[in-house]
Amino acid sequence: MTPMRTVGEPAIPGKITVRAGNRKVVLAKHAGESARHVLLKALVFGLYVADYPELVVEPRFSGRYRPDLLQLNDAGKPVFWAECGATGHEKLAFLARAYPSTHIVVAKQVACIDPLAEAVSGIVGPLRRMAPLDLVNVPADAERFIGQTGEITVAFGDVALRRFGPGTPD
């Protein structure tokens, strides 16, 4: 994939508590993890928790890859999988093929999402997916969507969204 130019690093503290809907999640910035990665996880949580009320951030998952956010069904299969920040072509292709019934989200904070959208189109195009694959690009000033008390106020109209596969965003 073509490297994408990112925007400036957000001002996110080492640990934040965020709230969306009736859920509260504590996100800690781990060693080697960027503030952008923490911000993206928080915003994806805020965007999708209404549709996936059992979302888990940084879950334990015994598969080839580990998601940033995940919701499993009663049988223990992923129904929602989110990747935030750097996601390689090989990983994305594997997820798209291995989990055709899983709503996959790739969240970025880049100046232009077009190169990634072209790559995803090439990956998803020949596949028969039953669930969408969303590319979400948050704006440079996305920290404004997290209030003083941790309330996440982001909505789909606040981000650039490209959906591949079935369904349309709310």
Strands 160-164 and 69-72: unpaired
Backbone phi, psi, residue 27, to 5°: -115, 125
For residue 162, list its beta bridge partners.
135
User: Does 126 or 113 have the greater pLDDT score?
Assistant: 113
**What pLDDT is stored for residue 32 in this prediction?**
84
- Indicate the pTM of the whole model: 0.88
Q: Which CATH architecture group holds 15-164?
A: Roll (3.10)
Judge contact between 59 and 67, C-beta under 8 A: yes
- Per-residue pLDDT band at 10 (split at 50, 70, 90): low
Nearest to 39 by CA among 158, 150, 123: 150
Computed over every residue of the chain, the mean pLDDT equals: 88
- 143, with CB counted inside 10 A (0-12, 13-18, 19+), is middle
Average pLDDT of 145-152? 93
pLDDT at 51 > cutoff 90: yes
64-116 pLDDT, tens digit per residue, is: 899 999 999 999 999 999 999 988 889 999 999 999 999 999 999 998 889 98
pLDDT category, 167, cuts 50, 70, 90? low
pLDDT at position 170 is 45
Where do the structural domains in the chain lie, given as residue ranges?
Answer: 15-164
Percentage of residues of the chain with pLDDT beyond 70: 89
Is the per-residue pLDDT at 50 higher than 60? yes
